[in-house]
Amino acid sequence: MLRGSKVGLRARHEDDIPVLQAELYDDVVNTARADGRPWRPIPPSTTDGKFVVDPTDEENLPFSVVDLESGELVGAATLWGLDTHNRFAHIGLGLLPSARGKGYGTDVVAVLCHYGFVVRGLHRLQIETLPDNIGMLRSAERNGFVREGLLRSAAWVMGEFMDEVILGLLAEEWKQGAKG
C-alpha cells in the first residue's frame, strides 16, 4: 500500500467494486462530469465495469483509496494513459460523497505524485478537470500543479459543452516543492 498522511492507495478489492459503482458511477451527473464517455447502465456484477481491474492493462493503474485511520474505503484513484516512452501519465480520482471536503483529495494527489515520479520514474503528470471543480483544482495546486491551459468547450456534460482546465507538474518541480 502507498501511504500519505490521511489515505492509503491499495490494489482494488473485489468488494470495493459495488461500493464504487453505487457511490460514484451510478451517480449519472458525477460520472458525466468525471468521465469523457457517456454514462450507460452497467450491472454491478459485470466483468467490464468502470471499476473492474484488468491486470494486463499497463497503461491504466487503478487504486482504491482508504482512510488510514479507519481502513474504510473512501474513493478511487488512477494513474492513466501511462506513456513509458515520454514518461508521462494523467491523474484521476473520485471520492465517495461522504469523503469529500476532508482533505483526502490533496493527499491522494500527493501519493499519486510520489508513485508517478519516484516509483515509476515519470517526468510529467497531468490533470484535466472542469473549471468549477474547485476541490480538484485546489488539490492539484496544493501539490504544485500549474494551470497550463484551457480547452474551450472540450467536454460534453449533461447537455452542454464545458471548458476543461489542464494542469501539469514536472518531476523537477515536484522535487523542488518537496524540499521547500
> Nearest to residue 39, comparing CAs of 145, 159, 139?
159
**Does residue 21 have a pLDDT over 70?**
yes
What is the structure's pLDDT at 138? Answer: 97
Question: What residues contact residue 40 under an 8 Å CB cut-off, 6+ apart?
Answer: none
**pLDDT bucket at 49, cuts 50 / 70 / 90:** confident
Q: How confident is the model at residue 46 (pLDDT cuts 50, 70, 90)?
A: low
Give 69-110 pLDDT, tens digit per residue: 999 999 999 999 999 999 999 999 999 999 999 999 999 999
Quick one: pLDDT at residue 94?
96
According to DSSP H, which parts of 5-132 are helical?
Answer: 16-20, 28-34, 104-114
Please report the domains of the chain, with CATH numbers, ordered by start residue.
2-179 (3.40.630.30)
Residue-wise pLDDT tens digits, 134-169: 999 999 999 999 999 999 999 999 999 999 999 999
Residue scoring higher pLDDT (51 or 111): 111
Q: Indicate the pLDDT class of residue 37, thresholds 50, 70 and 90.
A: confident
- pTM (global) more than 0.85: yes
d(CA 104, CA 100) in angstroms, rounded, equals: 7
Average pLDDT of the chain, as a whole number: 94
DSSP character at residue 93: E
